[in-house]
Amino acid sequence: MQTPTNYKILVVDDDPDIVELLHYNLTREGYEVAQAENGKKAIEVAHTFKPNVILMDVMMPVLDGIAACRHIREENEFRQTHIIFLTARAEEFSEVAAFDAGADDFITKPIKPRALLSRLASYARRDAQQEEQEKVIEAGGLRIDRTSYTVFKGEQKITLPKKEFELLAFLAATPNKVFSREELLNSVWGSDVYVIARTVDVHIRKVREKIGEDNIKTIKGVGYKFNTD
């Protein structure tokens, strides 16, 4: 089970005051912390540090957070890494852009340390719970392996970022049951993670692009289900 003493957080921000604030609060809580001042440096540090969570600003010099997130999500070794954006920009289009790039969460500044720590603890708990769940799901022509975070469609291996994988695995674990967007947000992202319902639509679209259109069905006005009919 993941605990703060073996849970790694990479803090990425060009504001030294924010980095210092986060470093102080995270280390005091027992997390192992590394830091980077821009997206380019974050990618370099991530390769050696192997973080469980990346807390990353959006607007940074050299390489911004959106571009860095896209680059990180292209690498298989970071499929299980949570990426949480920290930004002063709260417009919905910025939030959608962040999730489209592969982010798991979106926190607006000014940062409230206690709320952030609660959210991180929630991520650690869910990671621990997933370790104890059924390891392999076979449904709808897919083999979903929670241990290796891999999906196979026949002989084809499909790579999904962590949140896309978790969303697919959650739906496939109860095939043909319809879940509302709110239920999916609460179950996959957690009830204490404040993201918009549009987040589910973005992730469903990206999953469909990779596994095909047939497995996840939209129930108009209700939500989604994993289809085996």
Q: What are 15-38's pLDDT values in tens digits?
A: 999 999 999 999 999 999 999 999
Instruction: Write down the pLDDT at residue 221.
Output: 87
Nearest to 42, CA basis, from 26, 29, 61, 21: 61
Beta bridge partners of 153: 142, 156
What's the rounded Cα separation, in Å, for the pair 13 and 55?
A: 8
Instruction: Write down the pLDDT at residue 100.
Output: 84
Residue 1 has pLDDT above 50, yes or no: no
pLDDT band at 83 (very low <50, low <70, confident <90, very high): very high
- In degrees and rounded to multiples of 5, residue 143 shows phi and psi of -115, 115
Q: What are 179-217's pLDDT values in tens digits?
A: 999 889 888 887 666 667 788 899 999 999 999 999 999
Q: What are 115-134's pLDDT values in tens digits?
A: 899 889 888 887 776 665 56
Instruction: Write down the pLDDT at residue 197.
Output: 73
- Structural domains in the chain, CATH included, are 4-130 (3.40.50.2300), 133-226 (1.10.10.10)
